[in-house]
Amino acid sequence: MLRIDNLHATVADKPILNGLTLAVNAGEVHAIMGPNGAGKSTLAYVLGGRPGYEVTSGSATLDGQDILALAPHERAAAGLFLGFQYPVEIPGVSNVQFLREALNSQRRARGEEPLSGGEFLKLAREKAALLKLDMDMLKRQVNVGFSGGEKKRAEMVQMGILDPRLALLDETDSGLDIDALRVVGDGINAIMRRPDKAVVLITHYQRLLDYVRPDFVHILSQGRIVKTGGPGLALRLEEEGYEAVAA
């Protein structure tokens, strides 16, 4: 599904990714861990198409399509979803309005008919229930006045509605208490644990992986993957730290 080969990227002319290679197959969950400054968020932003992140060499494809050649909205229509560590607020725009426009824009790009208002609300209620998010929250402005946990749950509802092929989740566990972490983890499993989908979880900590069990754990250091293992690798990192495990 996702193929990254020898990817190099810079931010403000500073090299951050230095030959990163990764393969993610359909049906798999991959966790990427590493110290601050290793390039974890940069990888997510490069794949998502954030301005200011320049690819200098290497390739990245999704289902065989060169996603680096696409604009961010085209990458989304191709099936890529990027979850942010700090979801932004959009004053003056309701969640329902935002999500319906986003979904129907993607459907049109794929040659599909847009959903009617009634069809969309039925879908939104279904996905909100998975994340234990009251529909009244979706009538409010996007993330305005939301707590950290509410922002993350609302973003997971967005993921459920958009129904991507590949979810890149950048520190989705950041700012979540124990209860919210369980709800978000269960939501990720319900939405994305399918044979035709895949998840890349970027995280500092083991705790999210207690709920969303990865097939592979990768350690990222100095812009490249230096070690790969199973779920036990994350536990070793918790106990021993990056220096000891990645050496």
**Within 13 Å of residue 20, how many CA atoms lie on the same side as its CB?**
32
Question: Which residue, chain included where needed, has tokens 């968020």?
Answer: 41
Q: What is the full per-residue pLDDT of the chain (247 aa) written as tens digits?
A: 999 999 999 999 999 999 999 999 999 999 999 888 889 999 999 999 999 999 999 999 999 999 999 999 999 999 999 998 788 889 999 999 999 999 999 999 888 999 998 999 999 999 998 888 888 888 898 888 888 888 888 888 999 999 999 999 998 888 788 888 888 898 899 999 999 999 999 988 888 899 999 999 999 988 999 999 999 998 888 888 877 777 6
Domain residue spans in the chain?
A: 2-90+165-246
CATH architecture of 2-90+165-246: 3-Layer(aba) Sandwich (3.40)
* CA pair distance 193, 29, nearest whole angstrom: 8
* CA pair distance 39, 55, nearest whole angstrom: 13
pTM: 0.91
Cα angle: 134, vertex 139, 145; to 5 degrees: 85
Amino acid letter at 44? A
